[in-house]
Chains A and B, each alone.
Chain A
Amino acid sequence: MAQVGRGIPRLEARSKVTGRAEYTHNLRLPGMLYGKVFRSTVPHGRIVRIDTGAAAALPGVERVVTGDDIRKIIPEPYYGPAFHDQPILALDKVRHVGEPVAVVIAADPHVAEQAVALIEAEYQELPAVYDEVEAMTSKAIVHEVLKPAGTFADLKHLAGKTGTNITLDYHLTRGDTGKAFAGAEHVFEHTFRSQQALHLAFEPFVAVADPGDGMVTIHTSNQTPSFVRMEIARLLGWHENQVRVKVPFLGGGFGGKVYVKLEPLVVALALLVRRPVKVALTMEEQFYMVTKHPTTFRIKSGVTKDGKITARECEVFWNGGAYAEIGPRVCQKSGFTAPGPYDIDNVKIDSYELYTNRTPCGALRGFGIPQLVWAYECHTDIIARELGIDPIALRRKNILREGRPHATGTKMRDAAIEQVLEALAEQMQWSKPFDRGSGVIRRGRGVAIGFKASISPTTSVAIVNVSADGSASLNMATTDMGQGSNTIMAQIVAEVLDLQAENVRVMATDTDITPYDMGTLGSRSTFHMGHAVRLAAEDARAKLQALAAEAGLPPGTNYPPSEIFVKRYGMQAGNVIGTGTYVPTYQSPDKTTGMSENVTPFWMVGGAGAEVEVDTETGKVRVIRLVNAADCGTPINPRIATTQLSGGATMALGFTLFEDMVLDGGQVINASLADYKIPGMHDIPPMLNELVDAAQTNGPFGAKGLGESATFGVSPAIANAIDDAVGIRLTDLPMTPEAVLRALRAKQGRPLEDDA
């Protein structure tokens, strides 16, 4: 029976509904101590003094640790995937409110917490910068010295600009925008901004380090166990095989738990006290770990009178926060898609990643793409309205079609942009009359489409182990955070080896036995690890055939594997180990022109259509229908794939309408679930989720990733629907009732008092 294409429940479903699924959150080791973090209260300052005396004297406190103590274990305690800029505990300077400055270790976490309150720190405050555009020219320099990491192949060129806050500037020039604007019949220019928001996985960041004899074991809720191993080995000056990283299920990730987070800290603490140490953040502390980039995007287009876009300039400023994190890759990887999924002859992109004195910003479900789509799809709609052209017709006229070159020069292959757009048009019944209402409640509708390049070049390795009874287990470092990777990888193994997917055992990640994977991120797993798993299973199948030949069976035998083992070894004995490694091809963008003929192994395409009701008296926006469409090639598990759409779209809905990390003088003033609202049961509109009929010809069984695709279009689709309903254009996220009401009142010529 075909295993690929089956909509089976998650393999671990039973353990999840019974509360028995394993999470690092639950882990307690014998003799384990707890670390609680003392954090900076100032956004930017030199550390003058840290007084830990009272904390250390509190009964029950094992030890108080500062940045200087960390140096005893790790002399150069700076980490990061792009720049080695982040100290394990602050040294010399603090760069954002909430930055870890000291840790109290105690057997009882309550005692540790109590002791943290007794620590005092004095800072000499420095001028701070919070806004990404101001950071371009600000005299407040967050990092005086820049330290490129040189770890990842696609970031080898990183240098940063000393004396500025710029960690990466990406530029692309195609054709001649200046000339095209001069000759254009219409030129449109707008600026859009997006807010700081965050992942808020319900299993907050947590890690445990357990020191051993010449080695250390790390238990962590992390999306990139192989990177954790490498980075910890680098920090300690150890070999990779001295670091063991174990990852059970993750209670959510969404891009937050990538690269290293708490792991360097728990390792240093555990090696200092020579006992297992756990650091588990509270929900509040998650606001100081990693967030989504706030952005400012200036977009300018030249358009003919019949709606053909002839030129587009994109200037994108990414607010990276206090540490580079993976921001430079966001800036480049997403930056080159800033003109949108449109066929435009003249394009110029300037994309800047900037340090500021905010919580660091990294990857959040879409890797910067939702911020870009927010701008270019609002812009596209405004153009359509001003020219009196139907918004879908304008998109039809301009979309990138199969075989046409993207702005980078890479030819589009298997990117179902047209299918996604047409799916939205059909599901929204776009050609039918639409009742916008005439009373207090007005209705509107809007669509938006976006696309994303996959991360490249990256490596995935998998091992398929066939036991003598013919059962198979899979070893891989892809981690399951709810997206269903264990299940679909088991389906791939089962497909190749003619087994039932439910009977394939997927091992929990343990880097002592699981091979390398670049990371569970950027919707890369189905494609990259999917290929590695397919190759490993095919290798196992070939080795079974070879075993059959050794046992004297004829080629192409139908003997089941269990009998082949018996024939070969005289009893139920032995193993067949299949391995697979997958690395797609890639050409790095040219440093000057930003061009590349092969910038991605596949494209993700996603779009949204929204119908809204706007209450013109209160500004309240109610989404009455949300259509999500995406291209995931041919889904391995259509059911799990569909829930990735509804889940992603709902998260995006929160970022669109209410989620906002509010800063006052560098302080986060709503760092709790009480003050930072996320979508709940009552916020979910009726949704229709469609996987368009498509195939990724170079993908495993025609599949590719889609964990992020449904996040692309939600914000602009809703903004476009609000404009359609009441004729106001919001350019900042989130679109709260207050923002809508202010815009409505301004349009009526009676602005609210604060605006007057």
Chain B
Amino acid sequence: MSARTIHFILNGREVSAEIEPHRNLVELLQRFDLTGARESCGQGLCGCCTALVDGQPVSGCLYFAVMVDGKRVTTVEALDAEGSLSKVQQAFIDHGAFQCGFCTPGFVLMTHQLLAENPNPSDDEIRDYLSGNLCRCAAYPEIIAAVKAAARG
């Protein structure tokens, strides 16, 4: 299939790309050497490929790349763009909220979204909001502790 030119804002920077309509957002991000969003289950179930499009989380494995034309894309790599970690990232470190780290960028991004919508979530609200992210190492108790710590600031 023939490629299309798309223009979008990637982590605050105007960029463009030539991409075929069957490629997904993860593949597009790879072209910019952004590998924090990773395709794992390929069904939008695990959350490893999470990225934000116009501020909304999407599963990068199911989201066609061409659909970001004219939009704003944010990836985990934007969070420490200034060289310092976000409070969510720091809380994940402080609470040991990961083991292998493969799913971690997805959890970190979703936690940012959660706290933007609900600055002081209860345990149940955390569980509900993050239920679309899976962690095979099962760092779930530590993730909940990290989210609460980040909420406390």
Contact = CB atoms under 8 A, between A and B. Distances in A.
Given A26-B35, A202-B48, A252 B130 contact: no
Interface in A171-203: 199-203
Given A19-B76, A687-B141, 10 more contacts: A17-B92, A19-B77, A202-B48, A251-B100, A254-B136, A282-B42, A672-B41, A673-B134, A680-B134, A681-B144
B100 A679 contact: no
Per DSSP, are chain A's interface residues mostly helix, strand or loop, or mixed?
A: loop
B57 to A, nearest CB: 15
Given A17-B89, A647-B138, A680-B131, A283 B42 contact: yes
Interface in A650-682: 650-651, 672-674, 678-682
Given A643-B139, A650-B138, A679-B138, A203 B102 contact: yes
B140 A681 contact: yes
Contact of A674 (B30, B35, B43, B130): B43
Interface stretch (A386-394, A461-469, A477-485): A477-485
B138 A651 contact: yes
Given A18-B89, A483-B99, A252 B136 contact: yes
Nearest to B43: A674
Contacts of B42: 282-284
Interface string B48-80: 100000000000000000000000000111011
B137 interface: yes
Nearest to A8: B96
B131 A204 contact: no
Nearest to B23: A110
A251 B96 contact: no
B41 to A, nearest CB: 4
The 7 closest A-B pairs by CB, nearest first: A19-B36, A482-B100, A16-B101, A251-B102, A482-B99, A650-B138, A19-B76
B46 interface: yes
Interface in B82-106: 85, 89, 92-94, 96, 98-105
B40 A203 contact: yes
**How many B residues are at the interface, by size bracket?**
35 or more
A116 to B, nearest CB: 16
A20 interface: yes
B137 to A, nearest CB: 5
Contacts of A203: 38, 40, 100, 102
B96 A643 contact: yes
Contacts of A16: 98, 101, 104
A534 interface: no
B76 to A, nearest CB: 4
A283 B41 contact: yes
A69 interface: no
Given A9-B93, A25-B38, A202-B48, A484 B99 contact: yes
A121 to B, nearest CB: 24
16 contacts: A13-B98, A17-B92, A20-B36, A23-B38, A26-B35, A202-B48, A203-B40, A250-B100, A251-B38, A251-B102, A252-B137, A253-B100, A254-B136, A484-B99, A646-B142, A674-B41
A646 B145 CA distance: 14
B134 A18 contact: no
Contacts of B137: 252, 482, 647
B25 interface: no
A284 B103 CA distance: 18
Given A17-B85, A252-B100, A640-B96, A646 B141 contact: yes
Contacts of A483: 99
B108 interface: yes
Per DSSP, are chain B's interface residues mostly helix, strand or loop, or mixed?
A: loop
A12 interface: yes
A28 B27 CA distance: 12
Contact of B30 (A28, A200, A679, A687): A28
**How many A residues are at the interface, by size bracket?**
35 or more
A643 B97 CA distance: 9
Contact of B100 (A20, A26, A481, A672): A481
Interface of A: 9-10, 12-21, 23, 25-26, 28, 110, 199-204, 249-254, 282-284, 481-484, 639-640, 643, 646-647, 650-651, 672-674, 678-682, 684, 687
Contacts of A200: 136
A678 B137 CA distance: 11
B24 to A, nearest CB: 10
B4 interface: no
A640 B100 CA distance: 12
Contacts of A673: 41, 43, 45-46, 134
A12 B100 CA distance: 10
A647 B139 CA distance: 6
Most buried by A among B22, B102, B134, B138: B138
Given A17-B89, A203-B38, A674-B43, A684 B108 contact: no
Nearest to A254: B136
A249 B40 contact: no
B101 A12 contact: yes
B40 A202 contact: yes
Contacts of A674: 41, 43, 45
Given A9-B94, A18-B89, A19-B76, A202 B138 contact: no
Contacts of B130: 681
Most buried by A among B45, B101, B137: B101
Contacts of B98: 13, 16-17, 482
B101 A251 contact: yes
A684 B138 contact: yes
A283 B49 CA distance: 13
A494 to B, nearest CB: 19
Contact of A684 (B85, B105, B141): B141
A652 to B, nearest CB: 10
